[in-house]
Chain A
Amino acid sequence: MKKYTKGFLENLYRQIIRIRFCEESLVEPILKGEIKCPCHLYSGEEAIATGVCAALEERDYVFGNHRSHGHYLAKGGSMPELIAEIYGKETGCSKGRGGSMHVIVPDKGLLGAAPLVAGTISLAVGAALAAKIRKEDRVTVSFFGDGAAGEGVLYESLNFASLKKLPIIFACENNLYSTHMPIRECRPGNNIFKSSVPFCIPGYRVDGNDVLKVYELSKKAVELCRKGQGPVFIEFMTYRLRGHVGPDDNIQGTHTDIRPKTEIEKWTKRDPIKRFEKTLLKNRILTKEDLEIIRKETEAEVKNAYVFTMNSPYPEKNELTKYVFKE
């Protein structure tokens, strides 16, 4: 712990809490039907976005997927613009045209998130290629889930990225479920991190619910990429505490979450936030009061995001066809 400054750890805590509070704030409006846009909540997986993005610079690129609120916030996206986007407001990060699954922060390097499983992996490889052609010191991270390991384009992308020695980190967030399907029914072995090895890319696996372990490994991967020794593949082991989509997979009245209660309880004990708080207190980095202050400040931030959203206009009807093409 001594190698980290207090400020660094405090920022890490602030970030992980921001993501959790922001995600959990969506639960009630979803259940009430105020939010109609499908939201794939990141609760339980926050340590990954927090730890990986803490290892990146602002200039570095990130591509996300359907579950990217965390990637968005960790890469510097504005919370009010995220909530406004989910509510379909003109002030949203994608002007209400994209919703929860299409978040972007172009000026902070989140070049886009899109929900087609594995669809943004090759795009991230392309961004890494662009950086290499332009001889820029820029690393790209491609976030995808364990479900994406079932898509062929991942393997095409690994091959090409390795052939061209691109500065890219393939970041697989393995939450053990591909929508409703447990990983043991999706693949014969729980070994996604070995997928990159045939393509001469080192593959690592790490506890994705331990923000400091995530950060350490990501930092190492970023350094390798900066030295021209990329790509790197990392499998982050984690678990979503909410449904695949929405708070509890209660989609139009059908409860589709078939996960065993004991499994959920086991992972609730490994909650990345509780664990990080314990570490911070045990090592006397922050006091209980410090944590409380940060929590209160974050609550206020979330509240403000909703005030911003409620005061924001919807897109104009006559702008339906705007943005089909760039004029």
Chain B
Amino acid sequence: MMSSDKSVFLIGQGVKSPWYVGNTARGLLEKFGTERVIDTPVSENAITGVAVGAAIAGMRPVVVHPRMDFMLYAMDPIINEAANWHYMFGGRSNVPVVIWSIINRGGEQAAQHSQALHALFAHIPGLKVVMPSTPYDAKGLMISAIKDDNPVIYIDDRWLYNIEGEVPEEIYEVPIGKAIIRKEGKDITLAATSYMVYEAIQAAEELSKDGIDVEVIDIRSIKPLDKKMLLNSVQKTGRFVVVDGGWKTCGFSAEVSALVSENGFKYLKAPIIRVTLPDTPAPASYRLEKEYYPTHIDIIKGIKKAIGDEEE
């Protein structure tokens, strides 16, 4: 994108350091120089504002927050300014910025290096929020986010960085607002976000041994949400479990559950089940961490509950 569109630039903390952003920015500095690959001091509020301001002035910046928790310093430019900008000026100005952040969970990093805040941003009118789970989508959604004329919050999960997959060389888009079925099934709909998609697939594979046919939907786009795909699937299966790597209360899982019960109540044969983080800050100790993050085992339990086959 940086080659084909001169208005695209990358700015943020550690863009030249793999320690911060993995290998995602490798080679960019050599190719595009410090004018368009801008490593910055620790000033999340101003730097995000700079990206928003540059977007208002016609650029298409990508601003990175390698630890999502630090992005909270930038709530003013993201929410007060970027999200409202197009509306409050009656469509006379817009903010084509990508705010890329990485959920940094696990590794005994505790409460301030682990937070998954996608629901918080999805709550705000004017923001789009995407969470890719595959390398193919990571590229395709980033390209769509850059091309989008609105502010897009693009959220990675550190646990996804070891996943390998085919990624075409060329520029291609994965549309924002479209979920994807990762595994078709007829007995129950299992919707998952980001890294939790892999736990969901594993759960589905294990349940297939018991003859339970799970449909796994990778949400990909938190906002706008692919309501049609979710409701079509629930109409087919009659049961719904949602798995999210964020907290439960007022979280993304709550929104999806409300959506399904509001619009698909007549299809439901059983209550909706949510598998999420407990409403607790992330602990440091490995022992507690293992308890904290849901896995395919928790998902299997949730699915069995939804089909009325509880073992507990």
Q: Which A residues are within 8 Å of any B CB, using their own CB? A: 61, 63, 92-98, 102, 104, 106, 111-112, 114, 116, 119-134, 152-153, 156-157, 159-160, 163-164, 322-326
Contacts and interface: CB of A to CB of B under 8 A. Distances in A.
Given A104-B89, A114-B88, A163-B41, A122 B150 contact: no
Interface in B38-79: 38, 40-41, 43, 45-59, 61, 76-77
A153 B46 contact: yes
B87 interface: yes
Contact of B49 (A61, A92, A98, A157): A157
25 contacts: A63-B53, A94-B92, A95-B91, A97-B87, A98-B90, A111-B56, A112-B85, A122-B46, A122-B53, A126-B49, A126-B57, A130-B59, A133-B35, A133-B36, A133-B54, A152-B45, A156-B47, A157-B50, A159-B41, A160-B41, A163-B41, A323-B87, A323-B91, A324-B87, A326-B149
Nearest to A107: B92
A114 B80 contact: yes
Contacts of A125: 46, 49-50, 53
**Interface-central residue, A97, A114, A132, A156, by most chain B CB under 10 Å:** A156
Nearest to A95: B90
A94 B53 contact: no
Interface string B13-47: 00000000000000000000001101011010111
B53 A126 contact: yes
B86 to A, nearest CB: 5
B137 to A, nearest CB: 21
Contacts of A124: 53
Contact of B50 (A98, A119, A160): A160
Interface residues of B, number: 43
Given A92-B90, A97-B90, A120 B81 contact: yes
B272 to A, nearest CB: 28
Contacts of B51: 126
Nearest to A96: B90
A116 B199 CA distance: 42
Nearest to B79: A116
B87 A130 contact: no
Contacts of B41: 156, 159-160, 163
Given A125-B49, A323-B91, 10 more contacts: A92-B90, A119-B77, A121-B46, A122-B46, A123-B49, A123-B53, A123-B77, A127-B54, A130-B53, A133-B9
A108 B194 CA distance: 43
- Going nearest first, the 7 A-B pairs with the smallest beta carbon separation are A126-B53, A122-B49, A95-B90, A123-B53, A156-B46, A156-B43, A130-B57
| Most chain A beta-carbon neighbours within 10 Å: one of B59, B76, B77, B87 | B87
B281 interface: no
Contacts of B57: 61, 111, 126-127, 130-131
Given A123-B49, A131-B57, A159-B41, A114 B90 contact: no
